[in-house]
Structure 1
């Protein structure tokens, strides 16, 4: 026991020894190198992204998952991992703003992970680390004390580990969902707000009737696309429909494209990637049940900086949109039946429904330590659920064993794991704040950022 304690103390010292430091030129080059790939097609969104990221360390953090994983490749590993836990199917960009509520394909309104762009295989602790750092940055913005944030990080880790322990040796992960009846606080509010939405309100927000036809509105954020682009997107729909399992596929008329717009200004980290809204016919010729599908450009996951090749490209048909779609299907029970992928204009795309019942988690509503701590329980459980069902339960050819068992076995001391996570998160939050300052200084100086 004394030897184990010494090893833990040594590892904690190693983690703390990686003190935050100024690395201005490196940060600016990382931001430029990542975003420059989108400059030719997404300059307007990139300008929005840079202005948004300059507003706060939390928003900067949301836009720089690529920096986080560069650091995960070099910073000390957690004591509580194994080779097996390194093949957890991660969300990748796991932070407070990437959870929310949505109506699943079975009709239930649930709280769960809501962004899968960076989905990839890696160490389970990376998702927890990224979440914990986001809790510090968002919590501080909301005026929550570091002591209360520490409590909430302990809560999110404890809830995650307890739920993984409960899943171990059972099939409970295949039915566990967070709903209004088993949640409270801001999470319950998010679920209830999503359930109160309607298809008519979504269609009213983005579309209009042009005589007997429904078409998209044209606004600053909904832009008409050139004819060549429009035709290329329509032509790619056949491959998209074929990417959906035949058992979940609707009649071909459902997918008939009625109109297309380019969507600008959505998200933070994904700003710069091409994003289109496609208006589909839906289940009938009525204009009241038209469906909006989001078609989003997909590029290699940021997680590859720390775990390149861990998810072979052959498992997602060498299409990054398929990688995103597979992550969504792996991590959610009763996943969106419109999730799929295609390729257009030599780019990979992920498609899914722009759900009328989707409600993003509002981090600004976490106005006290108590509210953050209550939400932390459900976020920890939601993350455990995502990891636990995305193993042999989803596709044994990708992950051939039980991740909930492997994680539970690897974390030999929950209290020490929590302490390690808290220590890492506060150290890294300091680094993010320094990186943000470097970014803002470069932006104000007119340095090229994309």
Structure 2
């Protein structure tokens, strides 16, 4: 959609930009941006990059972003990082010692899955925005997600305060632990050391079967398995199929546990519609491949997801030279213990993609599952531990990260006061959640006024 028509309509729209509360309780002047324009620029860039081919998903994205402040926040990480560039930095930021971050943490970017060693675990699930930057950017983003999810779930202000304080204290405690014993390389959350909700998700993952995913998405055509007719799975032209086949052949040796040529034979290809929130508008293809044997019961579905510059890059443009699908694939290995061994990278034509297995065993956390204060408390503690472990892992102890120092030591030394970090993080998260709510109102107003949003 053209920029001129968008601007003409926007002139008549009501734009709401809330003042942001920052540490110390002072009201910050309104951020110098129009949130609708920032989101438009990102989504219009995808519209242009993909020649309109993903506009169906961009349209779905506008509906999801307009549905609630929570969904709006989930889908607008570039706006968050743009805003961080204008807002005061944390007093606890680690000077001169950035770490690897996932870039888009929030409560629903966690879940249970089968680990590379066939043990189910609860872990961080999304590294599309992974980059090197301040650990405080990520801790603050998770805290904002807790405030917005808590408000959506009807939690009181005092309960939300407790939740954010718990996140920060748990994170700090485990950073200190990893600094003391260097156990972060092997640590993870499994059935034996996690809370009720995440244990339930792990149990569900243990009960999942590959046959269930294959039955949901595929069918037999004679003796060959193919994708089912499904409104979420779009048939692709022959040229795209050929490009995906070539991409799978190039990808297979980039995986940590490479597929053999026979395991990577492509049986069918579809474009996946409607998946995700922040990634809607990017190409996402499914490739059905042979699997371990020539039978049909162990076929695998690979997901090839278009990658663009990660949101945190604007704040730290030169901290790594990794690009395309290689960046999130390697970050997943570094940040998550026993992560998907099939994660790798390739290009579909000129489109860089992250390749992972569409796991039959994945069970994502939903904020709808957070039904009691006890569940909130346990889940927030688990998320704090996951963040601490991720930030501690990807450092000098793993070849290729580019981090030449101990990340956990740097962070631990920076946290000079846990109560101080709690106060600062709580003030930021509450104020920015108010900002998000105002921005969401502006987006809804623009959408209802007919403003082109991509």
Q: Deviations over 1:173-217 (max 9, x none)?
A: 112110122112222222111111110001111111111110011
Matched, 1:77 2:77: no
Give the equivalent residue in structure 2 for 1:189.
200
CA change 1:238–1:438 in 2 (3 A) is: same
How do residues 259-408 of structure 1 correspond to structure 2 at under 5 angstroms? 259-311=268-320, 313=321, 316=322, 319-395=323-399, 398-408=402-412
How far did residue 14 of structure 1 move? 5.5
Report the Cα distance in structure 1 between the residues aligned to 2:405 and 2:254, rounded to whole angstroms: 26
Q: Please tell me whether the aligned partners of residues 88 and 122 of structure 1 are also in contact (alpha carbons under 8 angstroms).
A: yes
Report the Cα distance in structure 2 between the residues aligned to 1:83 and 1:199, rounded to whole angstroms: 46
Report the Cα distance in structure 2 between the residues aligned to 1:402 and 1:37, rounded to whole angstroms: 37
Give the equivalent residue in structure 2 for 1:7.
none
Corresponding residue SS for 1:41? coil
Q: Aligned Cα RMSD in Å?
A: 1.6
How far did residue 13 of structure 1 move? 6.5
How far did residue 18 of structure 1 move? 4.7
- Of the three residues 126, 140, 144, the one matched with 1:115 is 126
Matched, 1:57 2:69: yes
Report the Cα distance in structure 1 between the residues aligned to 2:384 and 2:155, rounded to whole angstroms: 19
TM-score, structure 1 normalization: 0.93
Q: Please tell me whether the aligned partners of residues 253 and 259 of structure 2 are also in contact (alpha carbons under 8 angstroms).
A: no
Unaligned runs of 5+ in 1: 1-11
Report the Cα distance in structure 2 between the residues aligned to 1:29 and 1:395, rounded to whole angstroms: 40
Q: How many residues are treated as equivalent by the alignment?
A: 430
Q: Identify the range of structure 1 (386-395 vs 263-272) with the bigger mean alpha-carbon deviation.
A: 386-395
CA change 1:297–1:15 in 2 (3 A) is: farther
TM-score, structure 2 normalization: 0.92
Report the Cα distance in structure 2 between the residues aligned to 1:291 and 1:400, rounded to whole angstroms: 37
Corresponding residue SS for 1:259? strand
How far did residue 170 of structure 1 move? 2.4
Corresponding residue SS for 2:311? coil
How far did residue 82 of structure 1 move? 2.1
How far did residue 397 of structure 1 move? 5.4
Q: Deviations over 1:234-272 (max 9, x none)?
A: 112232123235xx2232101110111100011111111
Unaligned runs of 5+ in 2: 1-20
Report the Cα distance in structure 1 between the residues aligned to 2:412 and 2:326, rounded to whole angstroms: 30
Report the Cα distance in structure 1 between the residues aligned to 2:360 and 2:300, rounded to whole angstroms: 9
Q: Deviations over 1:97-134 (max 9, x none)?
A: 10111111111111110001000000001111111101
Report the Cα distance in structure 2 between the residues aligned to 1:18 and 1:269, rounded to whole angstroms: 29
Give the equivalent residue in structure 1 for 2:428.
424
Q: Please tell me whether the aligned partners of residues 23 and 424 of structure 2 are also in contact (alpha carbons under 8 angstroms).
A: no
Q: Identify the range of structure 1 (159-168 vs 184-193) with the bigger mean alpha-carbon deviation.
A: 184-193
Corresponding residue SS for 2:53? helix
The structure richer in helix per residue is 1
Give the equivalent residue in structure 1 for 2:34.
26
Q: Deviations over 1:10-49 (max 9, x none)?
A: xx965643537487x7111111110112221211111111
Give the equivalent residue in structure 2 for 1:210.
221
How far did residue 368 of structure 1 move? 2.8
Report the Cα distance in structure 2 between the residues aligned to 1:361 and 1:293, rounded to whole angstroms: 22
How do residues 221-232 of structure 1 correspond to structure 2 at under 5 angstroms? 221-232=232-243
